[in-house]
Amino acid sequence: MKCPLCEGNGVLPDVTSDTYQKIINDLNAKAGTKYKPSSKKTRQLIKTRMAEGFSVNDFLYVHTVKCKEWLQDPHWNKYLRPETLYSPKFESYRNQQIAVKTKVSY
C-alpha cells in the first residue's frame, strides 16, 4: 500500500509557510485572536499533527468545532490557542461533531 503522505518515497512533504499562514489566519479569524504563524512552537505543533496525516482542512474543522463550543464560554475560551488545539488531543477534536442547536417546540 502506498503512503498517501509521502507518496511511497518515504519522505514526508515539507509544511510550507503558506500552510502555517492559512491555518493560523483561520484560527485568528474564528477565535478573534492574534497568533503569529511564524511562532516556532506553533509551527512545531502543526508540523507534528500533519506528520500524523492530518490536513489543513482538519485544522480548519477543529477551529470551527472548538470555537462553536468554547468561544462564548468565559472558562473555556482561553483554550482557543495552538498549544491546546494542536496538542495530542487533536484527533479527538477532529472527530468531534459540530453541535447543532435545534428548536424545541412544546
Summarised one tens digit per residue, pLDDT across range 41-95 is: 999 999 999 999 999 999 999 999 999 999 999 999 999 999 999 999 999 999 9
Does 70 fall in a domain?
yes
Closest CA to 71 of 61, 63, 60: 63
Structural Rg of the chain based on CA atoms: 16
**pTM for the whole thing?**
0.80
Question: Looking at residues 95-101, what average pLDDT do you find?
Answer: 80
Alpha-carbon distance of 23 to 37, in angstroms, equals 8
Confidence of residue 2 (pLDDT cuts 50, 70, 90): very low
Does 9 fall in a domain?
no
- Give the total number of structural domains in the chain: 1
Does 1 fall in a domain?
no
Does 68 fall in a domain?
yes
Instruction: State the chain's maximal CA–CA distance in angstroms.
Output: 60
Does 100 fall in a domain?
no
Does 73 fall in a domain?
yes
Does 54 fall in a domain?
yes
Whole domain around residue 47: which residue ranges? 17-94
Does 62 fall in a domain?
yes
